[in-house]
Structures are given as C-alpha cells and as structure tokens.
C-alpha cells in the first residue's frame, strides 16, 4: 500500500482516539492513484517522464552526480534522466 504523507498523518492522528464529530469529506486528504502499468509498458511515455524529471533537475539547479533507477520502470527513466543531464 502506498499513501501520501498527509493521509498517513491523518490516519495516525485519528487512531486510538475517542470518536470525534464526523469530518467533512473536504477535510480528508486525498491520494492520487496512477496506474503505473500504463506508463512502464510504453517507452515513449517513459521517455517523456524522464525528460520532465531531467528538466526539473536542471531548472532547480541541482548538481546530480548519480542517477539510480529502482524497480522495473525506474531503470529506463533513470537512463533517460542521466543522458539529458550535463556531465
């Protein structure tokens, strides 16, 4: 299971506490689910994501010494990022 930090905090804050008045739906944090299989099976999509990540790193002035990909889609994305960043 993968949840956002806000959702985890929201769940922890409410665990083991006396029942409080119901919170409105808008007060609850929301997670966004991305079906990663739709991305990792398409090399063009992976390339676009790698380009976007490299662009973010360039614009924020980060000096990157090492790029590492984790899991099966992480390696191709890391490869794209590493080829687009200056040496």
Which residues form the domain of 27?
5-84
- The neighbour count for residue 22, using CB atoms within 10 Å, is 7
Burial class (CB in 10 A: 0-12, 13-18, 19+), 51: middle
| Gap between the Cα atoms of 76 and 74, Å rounded | 6
pLDDT attached to residue 57: 87
pTM of the model: 0.56
pLDDT attached to residue 48: 93
Using the Cα atoms of residue 76, residue 80, residue 86 and residue 87 in order, give the sign of their dihedral: positive
Per-residue pLDDT reduced to its tens digit, 27-53: 666 666 667 788 888 889 989 999 998
Question: What total of structural domains would you count in the chain?
Answer: 1
Q: Please check whether residue 73 is in contact with residue 49, taking contact to mean a CB–CB distance below 8 angstroms.
A: no
């Amino acid at each position: 299971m993968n949840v956002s930090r806000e959702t985890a905090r929201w769940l922890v804050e409410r665990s083991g506490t006396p029942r409080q008045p119901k919170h409105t739906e808008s007060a609850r944090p929301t997670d966004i689910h991305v079906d990663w299989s739709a991305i990792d099976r398409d090399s063009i999509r992976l390339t676009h994501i790698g380009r976007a990540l490299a662009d973010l790193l360039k614009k924020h002035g980060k000096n990157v010494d090492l790029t590492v990909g984790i899991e099966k889609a992480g390696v191709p994305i890391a490869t794209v990022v590493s080829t687009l960043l200056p040496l």
